[in-house]
């Protein structure tokens, strides 16, 4: 029998609803006054939320920085909008970065289910508790977007939210493709590739395979991989590795051509798997692109008789760090 | 007999001199007026130079962005100092980003040995031709630093240059450690880990193994890897992978502890290799940290009877992209 003791599948299936709720959670919360930089501090799933925001805000005049560290860059100041994102509210790196941002007089908004961050921060978007942080991406990303929207910094259109939710609600399609990819991977190490424009999607795939399936998985981006990683394929075996390309219809035409040629080159050595993002808005394409990975990593865990939910080594590590 | 038809070893051995020359190449070149953002556009070795600059400038009030893409962020403007870095001067992504930065009125400095970039850019630091781009890192990074120094944006001390050059000139030590690591890797896939503070060093190791040794190699950073990648080790085999930790004496104490505990956890499954950066200045630590990889990737190529210099697949790809 498959092992899913904590019903991870149910949580994954409820992801579209989680995104919708996440956007509503900040209610009217906003920041006023001049903001010339946005910093998102977090680790793991929280940091991926920051990476996604950076991609989403690519047209903005306000740069977005993602911090996965104990400290924040020295240019953080009172015109910096600083998001401290930690599901538990007790992530030590994020708490330290939060303290550093406070000292540097940043305007701070915390996104957390509670913990020390929930107590220390003055402005908090409180998100539901009881999930694995990686399974709470909707609650970690959309409140940040909501606050930016309320503050007039982001311009999120109703149509893009609607398109995204419509697409994500086609559960069966994501499930089927996820299951197909899990089978295809088998005992191989997946290598996930996407363009810079949707790069966080590839990283999310990698981390979902790491945490849900408990396997090695790596990622790299186009076209940077054409300048180094591609050379390694000369000695790589298709028994060990499965490259997976995440295609996006809106990718630069040269990137598309690079992906085509790279696929041809690699295909002479090993199988290459492909999936495509869905939708016309970037938000839909990012979230459809990454939603496949939830199912693929879930079904791969089950195929390997591994319970996708517990991450014992992380818990063990945290204990030993005290 | 070992294969090194183009005498890559000589080029690697001359790296300290290359760094010294690289810093002198801009001569008096500077930019004046208010600069509130720095962008480095490049691919491969040129982009790693940008990553290193970002780490080096961690204390600066002027944020540094690295662009590995055909376009530049929308916040690039006339207060942005934009470095277009391409060894050949014909890297298509960098040329496109350069055009985009021009349209956005950025202040532009090109670092190149010639090509279209050498013709199109008004301000050019011209670097010696005839090397593999990845073997020209000293020429790709130090001219950027020199221009920032001349412009009063970076404050490079004579002592730090001196310390770095003194350390790098201990060729035998880097060679011996590089050779030891090459032997240790054997047929395994190296996984390189370092802290965020010196993260570009880990990425440089990865790409040197890709390009010089023609093997798979991946990297990740501390502490982010503690939040996802570490879980994958549960099912990973020490016959397939060799983790290599790059230690830095100046790493955050919590990061050091995380590396210790992570090493203990992984060591129950497989060997873990370690090397340490040298010196007290960040510049020395970055460049000593990455210099090992030149030798390790070189000796690994030779052990596998592979000529380290040619990267046929990249040349092939470029031809097919025309």
Distance (Å, rounded) from C-alpha B210 to C-alpha B221? Answer: 18
Comparing CA positions, the residue from B53, B47, B41, B181 lying closest to residue B98 is B41
* Chain B contact present for A250, CB below 8 A: no
Distance (Å, rounded) from C-alpha A234 to C-alpha A265? Answer: 10
Q: How far is B73 from chain A (nearest CA, A)?
A: 6
How confident is the model over B103-128, as a mean pLDDT?
Answer: 98
Among the partner residues A61, A229, A304, nearest to B74 by beta-carbon distance: A61
3-state class percentages of chain B: helix first, strand second, coil last, to nearest 5: 50, 15, 35
CB within 8 Å: B62 and A75: yes
Count of beta carbons in the 10 Å neighbourhood of residue B273: 18
Distance (Å, rounded) from C-alpha A290 to C-alpha A288? Answer: 5
Q: 3-state class of B192 per DSSP?
A: strand
Among the partner residues B70, B207, B229, nearest to A254 by beta-carbon distance: B70
Cis, bond preceding B81 (omega within 30 deg of 0): no
CB within 8 Å: B223 and A68: yes
Q: How far is B313 from chain A (nearest CA, A)?
A: 6
Superfamily of segment(s) B8-156: Glucose-6-phosphate isomerase like protein; domain 1 (3.40.50.10490)
Decide if A227 is catalytic.
yes
Q: Which of residues 47-66 of A touch B (CB under 8 A)?
A: 47, 58-63, 65
Give the C-alpha distances (Å, rounded to integers) separating A190 from A137, A210, A247, A272, A273.
22, 10, 16, 10, 10
Q: Which residues, given as ranges, of chain A have pLDDT below 50? A: none
Q: Is the distance from CB of B122 to CB of B108 less than 8 angstroms?
A: yes
Superfamily of segment(s) B161-303: Glucose-6-phosphate isomerase like protein; domain 1 (3.40.50.10490)
Q: What is the pTM of this model?
A: 0.98
Give the C-alpha distances (Å, rounded to integers) separating B265 from A139, B223, B229.
31, 15, 13
Q: Is the distance from CB of B81 to CB of B109 less than 8 angstroms?
A: yes
Q: How far is B265 from chain A (nearest CA, A)?
A: 8
Confidence of residue B2 (pLDDT cuts 50, 70, 90): confident
Does the CA dihedral A249-A252-A257-A261 come out positive or negative? negative
Contacts of B209 in chain A (CB under 8 A): 232
CB within 8 Å: B214 and A235: yes
Q: How far is A206 from chain B (nearest CA, A)?
A: 8
Does the CA dihedral B139-B145-B151-B155 come out positive or negative? negative
CB within 8 Å: A265 and B313: yes
Decide if A14 is catalytic.
no
All CATH 3.40.50.10490 domain ranges in chain A, comma separated: 8-156, 161-303
Among the partner residues A63, A224, A316, nearest to B43 by beta-carbon distance: A224
Confidence of residue B259 (pLDDT cuts 50, 70, 90): very high
Q: 3-state class of B272 per DSSP?
A: coil
CB within 8 Å: B241 and A311: no
Write down the pLDDT at residue A2.
Answer: 72
Name the residue in chain B with its Cα closest to that of A188. B236
What is chain A's alpha carbon radius of gyration, rounded to the nearest angstrom?
19
Confidence of residue B198 (pLDDT cuts 50, 70, 90): very high
Q: Of the listed B93, B163, B211, B273, which one is catalytic?
A: B211
CB within 8 Å: B313 and A230: yes
Q: Is the distance from CB of B287 to CB of B18 less than 8 angstroms?
A: no
Write down the pLDDT at residue A5.
Answer: 87
How confident is the model over B36-65, as a mean pLDDT?
Answer: 97
B6 by Cβ neighbours in 10 Å (0-12 / 13-18 / 19+) ranks as middle
What's the start-to-end Cα distance of chain A, in Å? 37
CB within 8 Å: B233 and A316: no
Here the tokens at position A108 are 């701070």
Write down the pLDDT at residue A1.
Answer: 56
Confidence of residue B72 (pLDDT cuts 50, 70, 90): very high
Contacts of B223 in chain A (CB under 8 A): 43, 68-69, 93
How confident is the model over B238-263, as a mean pLDDT?
Answer: 98
Does the CA dihedral A52-A54-A55-A59 come out positive or negative? positive
* Chain B contact present for A2, CB below 8 A: no
Q: Of the listed A93, A211, A214, A273, which one is catalytic?
A: A211
Count of beta carbons in the 10 Å neighbourhood of residue A262: 24
Q: Of the listed B34, B61, B227, B319, which one is catalytic?
A: B227
Residues 6 or more apart in contact with residue A124 via CB below 8 angstroms: A109, A110, A111, A112, A117, A118
Q: Which of residues 190-229 of A touch B (CB under 8 A)?
A: 196-197, 206-207, 209-211, 214-218, 221, 223-224, 226-229
Here the tokens at position B80 are 């942005």
Distance (Å, rounded) from C-alpha B63 to C-alpha B66? Answer: 10
- Can you name the residues that pair with B318 across neighbouring β-strands? none
Write down the pLDDT at residue A219.
Answer: 98
* Chain B contact present for A285, CB below 8 A: no
Write out the DSSP string of A179-209. HHHHHHHTTSEEEEEEEGGGHHHHHHHHHHI
Tokens 């606050």 correspond to what residue? A147
Distance (Å, rounded) from C-alpha A4 to C-alpha A183? Answer: 18
Tokens 């502890």 correspond to what residue? B257
Write out the DSSP string of B95-115. HHHHHHHHHTT-EEEEEESSH
Contacts of A227 in chain B (CB under 8 A): 43-44, 207, 314
ipTM of the prediction greater than 0.85, yes or no: yes
Write down the pLDDT at residue B220.
Answer: 98
Give the C-alpha distances (Å, rounded to integers) separating A189 from A96, A138, B162, B240, B276.
34, 27, 44, 11, 29
CB within 8 Å: B217 and A232: yes
Write down the pLDDT at residue B303.
Answer: 97
Count of beta carbons in the 10 Å neighbourhood of residue A318: 15
Q: What is the pLDDT of residues B13-47, one digit of tens each?
A: 999 999 999 999 999 999 999 999 999 999 999 99
Q: Is the pLDDT of residue B116 over 80?
A: yes
């Amino acid at each position: 029998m498959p092992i899913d003791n904590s019903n991870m599948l149910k949580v994954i299936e409820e992801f579209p609803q989680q995104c919708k709720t996440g956007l509503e959670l900040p209610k009217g919360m906003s920041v006023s006054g001049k903001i010339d930089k946005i910093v998102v501090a977090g680790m793991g799933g929280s940091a991926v939320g920051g990476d996604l925001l950076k991609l989403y805000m690519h047209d903005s005049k306000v740069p977005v920085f993602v911090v996965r560290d104990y400290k924040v860059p020295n240019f953080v100041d009172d015109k910096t909008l600083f998001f401290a994102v930690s599901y538990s509210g007790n992530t030590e790196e994020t708490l330290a970065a939060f303290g550093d941002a406070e000292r540097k007089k940043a305007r701070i908004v915390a996104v957390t289910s509670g913990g020390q961050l929930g107590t220390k921060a003055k402005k908090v978007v409180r998100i539901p508790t009881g999930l694995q942080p990686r399974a709470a991406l909707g609650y970690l990303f959309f409140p940040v977007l909501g606050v930016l929207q309320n503050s007039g910094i982001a311009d999120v259109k109703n149509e893009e939210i609607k398109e995204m939710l419509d697409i994500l609600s086609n559960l069966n399609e994501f499930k089927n493709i996820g299951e197909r990819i899990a089978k295809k991977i088998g005992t191989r190490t997946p290598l996930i590739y996407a363009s810079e424009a949707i790069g966080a999607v590839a990283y999310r795939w990698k981390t979902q395979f790491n945490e849900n399936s408990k396997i090695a998985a790596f990622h790299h981006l186009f076209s940077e991989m054409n300048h180094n990683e591609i050379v390694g394929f000369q000695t790589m075996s298709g028994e060990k590795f499965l490259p997976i390309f995440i295609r996006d219809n809106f990718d630069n035409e040269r990137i598309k051509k690079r992906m085509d040629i790279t696929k041809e080159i690699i295909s002479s050595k090993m199988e290459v798997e492909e999936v495509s993002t869905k939708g016309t808005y970037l938000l839909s394409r990012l979230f459809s692109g990454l939603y496949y990975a939830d199912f693929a990593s879930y079904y791969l865990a089950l195929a390997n008789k591994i319970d996708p939910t517990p991450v014992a080594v992380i818990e063990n590590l945290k204990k030993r760090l005290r």
